[in-house]
Structure 1
Amino acid sequence: MAYSVEEIKESIAYCGLVCKLCNAGKSGECKGCKEKCDGCSIKECAKTRGINGCWECRSFPCEEKAFKNKRNRVFIQCAKDEGLHSLATYLKKNYEDGVQYHKIDGSPGDYDVLDSESEILKLLKKRNNPFEKCPVYETDNL
């Protein structure tokens, strides 16, 4: 399914999760963040501060459990540095190129299996993307 940059942008949760690209959202397991989810401390914090997400918060990164996830920290920092539209644009391009937010079977996605925030940022921005092309030795033998 193809998503527009605006659809992806609107689905980015306060904490940096991307509901449009998440299998739990597609399957109906997750209600989504901004409209329907109750009891989220990050959502309550953002609403109390009058901000649209943690990318607008001076206290980011804080001690919230969601920020133990490297992917969430990278996505929020990208939105903070470059804007939410840029983050959504990167995510759309990667999605179209086959970079998986989550695997269909529910296992960790391509962003989650990387070891460092810098590797996640490189994949997000498609710098040194291991999924972009086959190495020369593989294509020479086809």
Structure 2
Amino acid sequence: MNEKDVIENVGRCGKICTFCKDAAFCRGCGSTSAECAKHLTREGCYQYHCSKQKGLAGCWECDDAPCDMDVFSKDNNIRYRAFVRFAKYEGVEELGKCVFQNMIHGIRYGEGKDYDQFDSEEKVVQLLTKHYLSDD
């Protein structure tokens, strides 16, 4: 896996599909075979359908992002809100670069892992940018 793989697998909600627990059988919501747990529910994925209906590549292109719907709700993991807000203002490519740099420095992405330990978007972004453009 390289930085390009991470960048190309940022889902519409800002999730890094490559590191998703469903990645073994799902190639992400940018593919023609989106089969993650959210897509397979009766309701499907709100972020996927909303951004697609608006003709957006992802939620980061939406003026209302992050909204309070589905994975961006206050009851959900704050990582989603932080990542999509970061992508909105810094770019989806920068998001992928940060996640990749952190990964090679041992910061883990995924449910219940390093980005999920915080209670604010600001703290998630601090971790996200920890190794970005650094020499260590």
TM-score by length of 1: 0.76
2:50 corresponds to 1:45: yes
Gaps of 5+ in 2: none
Aligned to 1:54: 59
Secondary structure of 1:111's counterpart equals helix
Q: How do 1:1-142 and structure 2 match up within 5 A? A: 3-25=1-23, 27-28=24-25, 30=26, 32-35=28-31, 36-37=33-34, 38=39, 39-68=44-73, 69-102=77-110, 108-126=112-130
Letter matched to residue 28 of structure 2? G
Q: In 2, distance between residues paired with 1:67 and 1:81?
A: 17
Q: Is the 8 A contact 1:11 1:19 kept in 2?
A: yes
Letter matched to residue 126 of structure 2? K
> Across the two proteins, how many residue pairs are aligned to each other?
120
Secondary structure of 1:8's counterpart equals helix
Q: Is the 8 A contact 2:18 2:27 kept in 1?
A: no
Letter matched to residue 15 of structure 1? C
Q: In 1, distance between residues paired with 2:97 and 2:27?
A: 24
Q: In 2, distance between residues paired with 1:65 and 1:41?
A: 6
Q: In 1, distance between residues paired with 2:2 and 2:88?
A: 21
Q: In 1, distance between residues paired with 2:97 and 2:47?
A: 24
Work out the percentage of aligned pairs sharing the same amino acid.
35
**1:120–1:97: structure 2 CA closer, same or farther, 3 Å change rule?**
same
**1:98–1:23: structure 2 CA closer, same or farther, 3 Å change rule?**
farther
Q: Is the 8 A contact 1:5 1:85 kept in 2?
A: no
Q: Is the 8 A contact 1:100 1:110 kept in 2?
A: yes
Give RMSD over aligned pairs: 1.9
